[in-house]
Structure 1
Amino acid sequence: MKKPTQDWRFAQANKEALLSLGAYALYFIWWFVFGYGMGDGDPEQYSYVWGMPEWFFYSCIVGYPLITVFLWGVLRFFFKEVPLDDEVPDTDENELTSADSNKGNIA
């Protein structure tokens, strides 16, 4: 008996899920390091950028546009459009057509 092979769409979906989790982890680390690393001190000793505490400026104001551009690049170069319909296997003339093979299936 022939072992079924994994559909390429599942491999692509797994890759995209791992990239999404990695991007989220990267953003969280960025935010955590700047938010708690620079903001862990006496508020009277804070440095300010544009009237905001430096830790807030770098963690929230700079981090958000950077992660947005990074995510655009990840989506542009690593994510792919995949068809969501069933793939039609190679059939002989004696076998059912793809329209007949879906009869009785509830989608």
Structure 2
Amino acid sequence: MRRNCVCALHQGCWQVMVAYARQQFHADRRSCVPDSPFDDYLDLVEAARELGIHPQSLRRLIKQKRVPAVLFAGKYLIERDKLEMFKANYDPRPGRKPLRRLI
């Protein structure tokens, strides 16, 4: 079934209008979805990536109580604001260099 196009630009006008209507519908639906309470939190891997360190190093800092974190459902969650405060004062020192073996 062919639809009559009101404008003389092209025959695909109807498809363009339908695509635009779908896009607006989905945009309106996305704006109705409430924000998640977890948007302000990063998991261990994301926070470690943000700091530029290994996740195991960040886990050690959490256990030393140097980085505030919450254990939720078996995963550590770190608030973005607190991570930024820690990042401002954090001085990453490289680990120990391996000892050379004497032959």
TM-score by length of 1: 0.30
Q: Which has the higher strand share?
A: 2
TM-score (norm 2): 0.31
Computing the radius of gyration from Cα coordinates, the structure with the larger value is 2
